[in-house]
Amino acid sequence: MKNKSTISFAIVFLIFIGLLIGRRNEDVTLSSPSAEGGNHPPTITRIEIAPSAPDLKSVLSVQLVSEDPDRDRVTYRYRWFVNKKEVGDQPVLPLTGFHQGDLVSVEVIPSDGKTEGSPAQSPVVRIGNNPPSVRAVKLSPEALSSGQSVHAEVEGFDKEGDPIHYDYEWYINDRRVDGNVESDLDGAFVHSSDRIAVKVIPSDPFSQGEPKMSNVAVVVNHPPEITSLPPTEAEEGKYTYQVIAKDPDGDPLHYSLVEAPPEMSIHPTSGLLEWNVAKFPTEGVSVKVQVDDAKGGKSIQQFVLRAG
């Protein structure tokens, strides 16, 4: 009889334990979201438009970071806005057809296929401008002469096709020519052996581009030419010869004797040659006159004086 009571008590105790365990499992099950059929929507934690400084040739895209607590795959819906007006619903937005200065933003709505998350709004970006550029600057004519005007031929480029305006800064021997901002340099400024260059600054209606310097052009220096002929006789115990020379560039000239008798002299700026001599020696003397423009150009006249 005692054994039967013990067995009955054990059975009742096991049933109680089983009910208790089942109740705990039920509590755990009720607290599980999956048992409830619940879902956590995804969220976007970072969003921005790329590139951040677009121009009218840009195609905008969205860079974003999202999270889904249930690790579901996240997809997105897009709403593009230009000046607060909706213009597109694709992942990218080409800016062709819009205008410089327009304001662009995008709204992105995440979804895990079950629930949509809250919309996320990007910061606004402004459609900017690509400044124009100067591809090449050429000075013409190629062979520059003193007194000749110089023209700057410019090849420019603007990505948006905006009209380009050019300003010019002319330089002669590394010194800027004040007051000349046009494409031509007046020939009055141009002298032989000068080193001439021009800086070109491009701009469009929206911004200024990078300046570009031309190559340096050197003005041709033409040598002087002696146009006079020496006398063949001395008069009253003195030989006099006025050397006459012309310089195509108008440079001041300097006269000197390269070869001459010791008593002969020539004035360095007037070109007047003088020699105190009663008559020429029978064997003759050689005279060599040089005229130079101090820029590398020179001319030499050589003659022999002898008794007739």
Of 249, 299, 253, 298, the C-alpha closest to 144 is 249
pTM value is: 0.64
Mean pLDDT of 115-128: 95
CA distance 191 to 249: 7
What does DSSP assign to residue 28? Answer: H
- How far is 142 from 196, CA to CA, in rounded Å? 12
Task: Answer with the one of 82, 100, 126 that is the final residue of a domain.
Answer: 126
Per residue in 169-217, pLDDT tens?
999 999 999 988 899 999 999 999 999 999 999 999 988 999 999 999 9
At 214-224, the pLDDT tens digits run 999 999 999 99
Domain of residue 85, residue span = 43-126
pLDDT in tens, 232-262: 999 889 999 999 999 999 999 999 999 999 9
Return the bridge partners of 274, or none: 240, 265
Question: Is 263 inside any structural domain?
Answer: yes
Using one digit for the tens of pLDDT, what is the confidence trace for 11-57? 334 444 443 444 443 333 333 343 345 899 999 999 999 999 998 88
- Could you tell me if residue 160 is inside a domain? yes
Q: Note the pLDDT of residue 37.
A: 57
The separation between CA 220 and the C-alpha centre of its own chain, rounded to angstroms, equals 31
Give me the pLDDT at residue 125, please.
96
68 within a domain of the structure (yes/no)? yes
Rounded (10°) CA dihedral 231, 235, 239, 240? -70
> Is residue 8 one of the residues assigned to a domain?
no
**AA letter at 288:** K
Residue 265, pLDDT score: 97
**How far is 80 from 65, CA to CA, in rounded Å?**
18
Tell me whether residue 290 is exposed, middle or buried, using C-beta atoms within 10 angstroms of its C-beta: 0 to 12, 13 to 18, 19 or more: buried
Tell me whether residue 60 is in a domain: yes
Residue 17 located in a structural domain:
no
Mean pLDDT of 268-293: 94
Within a domain: 37: no
CATH assignment at residue 105? 2.60.40.10
Name the domain count of the chain: 3
| 117 in the same domain as 86 | yes
